[in-house]
Structure 1
Amino acid sequence: MARKAREKSTTGIYHIMLRGIDKRDIFLDDEDREKFLDYLAKAKEKATCLIYGYCLMDNHVHLLIEEGHEHIGESIKRVAVGYVYWHNEKYSRTGHLFQNRYKSEVVEDDTYFITVLRYIHQNPIKAGLVQDISHYKWSSYIHYIEGSEDLINLDIAMNFFISQDKFIEFMRTPSSEQCLEENIKVRYSDKQLKEIILKLYPKQDLISNLTKEKRDEFIRRIKQYTNASNRQISRVLGIGRGIVERVDK
């Protein structure tokens, strides 16, 4: 069956996600992340594309990008191919690193633009890596705070707010938006889900000792990050399915 053609953005702006094949980590240390950003900067210069946001997670990358004089697919390919070649050389491996096809969605209006940017910046919080987006060094949020335009084009996002304080307030406001990942159906085995849960909450075996509020917030984080079913979450956590079902994302 032929693949569905990608939707063309009338603004030229896209939310892109690159994910490791079989959910494997694509970054094993900070040098890897720095090298990926180097390839992203080279692609920006070569293709004259504009980059508005990014977040590098262990096994996937989010980008908010406007295509330049070449098709967006060529720019993403330029980054991915360069990084995979370098990564394979460093770790003496061969074969694919990313899933064959990157995920994308069009960004057609101002409201969704700023929604996607917040979603990208809040990814590390939803993954349980940090409590505050300012504590995560591998996203474009730090560029906006420091006013650094070496990689990120800041003007569009900042023009939505009367001050930097208002921008910070919006970016830090808790949000349950799913954006691109809402349409991605990733199924985890019970073993894989338990490993993810242990990263989010290392003392998972003590969940019965949590207050109802803290327990529900923990379950909510699992739902937001994994999209696992209520049945699977209740099975892996060893708690009643009704408890899980009552917790909204």
Structure 2
Amino acid sequence: MRSRYKIVKNSNLYFITSTIVGWLPVFTEKIFCDIIVNSLTYCRQKKGLRLFAYVVMDTHIHLLVSSEAVSGIIRDFKSYTAREIIRIAKENQRKRLLKQFEFYKKGHKATSEYQVWQEGFHPQVVAQEDVFRQKVAYIHCNPVRRGLVEDAGHWVYSSAGNYLYGKGCIEIDQIEL
């Protein structure tokens, strides 16, 4: 990982941010958002990812997660979702988007034609209850701050609905505080 952020202990709770290269607005369409939803659901059900909060914005995602294998799960998640985003872009003749993924590809990525995600995922340990609550509020208020909705619970691709109404597009894990 090429950042100052590192996974220290896998059982920790982490606030994670992953961003699309060039801050391209990929998640403005349901078809691309559903790739994230389906992949996070799979990671929860099959890979042991515990998901406590999430938001999918147009250019990035925020997650509050834990697992015994956080780095590996997030690596696999990003790899799989990148392949799926590229596949869908090719199927739907999104030539401009593919050109942008090609343009932003890092030079050392010799085996791939495109790059979808920026490198790394900036994990930050969340070790205290007040920090957990602050991160959940930050995640849920992201669409409100951007002016996309007036109420955090109205953003479909967020766990705010899970917290406010008991349901969302992804089942989340409960944490004892």
1:124 and 1:130 in contact (8 A); partners too: yes
Q: Is the 8 A contact 2:18 2:121 kept in 1?
A: yes
Match of 2:148 among 110, 120, 129: 129
Q: Find the counterpart in structure 1 of residue 171 from structure 2.
A: 151
Instruction: For residues 52-78 of structure 1, give each alpha carbon's deviation from its aligned partner in whole angstroms, at most 9, with x where no partner exists.
Output: 0000000000000011x3x21111112
SS at match of 2:124: strand
Query: 2:36 matched to which residue of 1?
Result: 36
- Output aligned runs, 1:23-172, within 5 Å: 23-67=23-67, 69=68, 71-92=69-90, 93=98, 94-148=113-167, 151-154=171-174, 156=175, 160=177
Separation in 2, partners of 1:57, 1:85 = 19
Q: Tell me how far 1:147 sits from its aligned partner.
A: 2.1
Amino acid at match of 2:88: K
| Structure 1 residues 47 and 98: CA distance shift in structure 2, 3 A | same
Give the root-mean-square deviation of aligned CA atoms.
2.1
Counterpart of 1:61 in 2: which secondary structure? strand
Larger helix proportion of the pair: 1
Tell me: CA distance 1:73–1:130, structure 2 relative to 1, closer, same or farther (3 Å).
Answer: same
Residue 152 of structure 1: SS of its match in structure 2?
Answer: coil
Is the CA contact (8 Å cut-off) linking 1:11 and 1:108 kept in structure 2?
A: no
Counterpart Cα distance in 2 of 1:127 and 1:48: 32
What letter matches 1:82 in structure 2?
Y
Sequence identity (%): 21
Amino acid at match of 1:26: V
Larger radius of gyration: 1
Any conservation in 2 of the 1:56–1:62 contact (CA below 8 Å)? Answer: yes
The answer to whether the 8 Å contact 2:154/2:161 transfers is: no
> TM-score with structure 2 length normalisation?
0.78
Q: For residue 46 of structure 1, report the CA deviation from its aligned partner.
A: 2.5
Q: CA deviation at 1:82?
A: 1.1
Going from structure 1 to structure 2, the CA distance change for 1:38 and 1:104 (only over 3 Å counts) comes to same
Are the equivalent residues in 2 in contact too, given 1:26–1:97 (CA < 8 A)?
no
> What SS does structure 1 have at the residue aligned with 2:123?
strand
Q: Is the 8 A contact 1:17 1:104 kept in 2?
A: yes
Indicate if the aligned counterparts of 1:9 and 1:107 stay in contact, CA closer than 8 A: no
Return the alpha-carbon distance in structure 2 between the equivalents of residues 44 and 86 of structure 1: 18
Query: How far does residue 151 in structure 1 lie from its aligned partner after superposition?
Result: 2.1
Q: Aligned residue for 1:12? A: 12
Distance of 2:10 and 2:88 partners within structure 1: 39
Work out whether residues 3 and 120 of structure 2, in 8 Å CA contact, stay in contact via their aligned partners in 1: no
- Report if aligned partners of 1:25, 1:58 keep a CA contact under 8 Å in 2: yes
